[in-house]
Amino acid sequence: MERVTAIDSYVSELDRRLHGPRRRKADMIVEVRDGLHDAAEAVRADSPEVDPAEAERRAVAEFGPLRAVAPEFQAELAVAQAWRTAWVFAVALPLVMTLSTLLWRSTSTGVAPTPGYHELAHANDLFLVAASVGFAVALLLMHVLARRAASPVALVRVVGVGAVVTVLAMMGAGIVLAMGAPGRGTSLWGALLGGLPTLPGYGLLLYLGVRCLRLTRPRGPGAGRPSRRPAPVPSA
């Protein structure tokens, strides 16, 4: 049976405590493992009399306790998730508005909408534009905060809340507009059934927002709260 080393134990526990984008987390764990092995080799090079097990223990001790290290890495994963979420919303919302307009024109019955309906549809379009711009601004702010050594963790929560609110507002507006569509309005049940094809897309967007919120919550004993240290922002 293969012996579990101090580095293996440390990295496994760190992996268990961290939650976030899989690829970024996997890269992070590999970087930590490699860094610890390099540190252990440096200890052995400076003190050849030290056995490998002791060198690993010293490397782990120098790296820091998990209760202090894990929140630092968790903050970075939360920012990576927020970046992904804001980018998806900034791109997806204009596409949703464009596709909705094209669909509306292709299925128009020629019946003029009432002033109230027209104002509601216009307000929905303005909301989508404003939300898209807001998420684009969030991307910029994450870069600015990182450069100024400020924590972006609060912004991660803002992105999460904004994403959840945006999805719920889009779903609600879609139902109301479907029910009052000129010449082809339907009941609430009919609007819900008609919206079933869009549920996977809305579900994905909602998941991204909820994920941002979950990643900023403390997890497990000793996990601590997300670090206030600025975390690197992914480029895309």
| pLDDT at res. 102 | 76
| pLDDT at res. 219 | 55
Helix 115-147 vs helix 153-179: crossing angle, to nearest 10 = 170
Q: Walk along the chain (236 residues) in steps of 10 and give the mean pLDDT of each run.
A: 78 95 95 95 91 93 94 90 95 87 66 78 90 94 75 87 95 86 75 80 94 79 42 44
| pLDDT at res. 14 | 96
Instruction: Report the 3 state secondary structure along the chain.
Output: CCCCCHHHHHHHHHHHHCCCCHHHHHHHHHHHHHHHHHHHHHHHHHCCCCCHHHHHHHHHHHHCCHHHHHHHHHHHHHHHHHHHHHHHHHHHHHHHHHHHHHHHHHCCCCCCCCHHHHHHHHHHHHHHHHHHHHHHHHHHHHHHHHHCCCCCHHHHHHHHHHHHHHHHHHHHHHHHHHHCCCCCCCCHHHHHHHCHHHHHHHHHHHHHHHHHHHHCCCCCCCCCCCCCCCCCCCCC
Q: How do the domains of the chain map onto residue ranges?
A: 6-64, 80-215
| pLDDT at res. 100 | 77
| pLDDT at res. 1 | 40
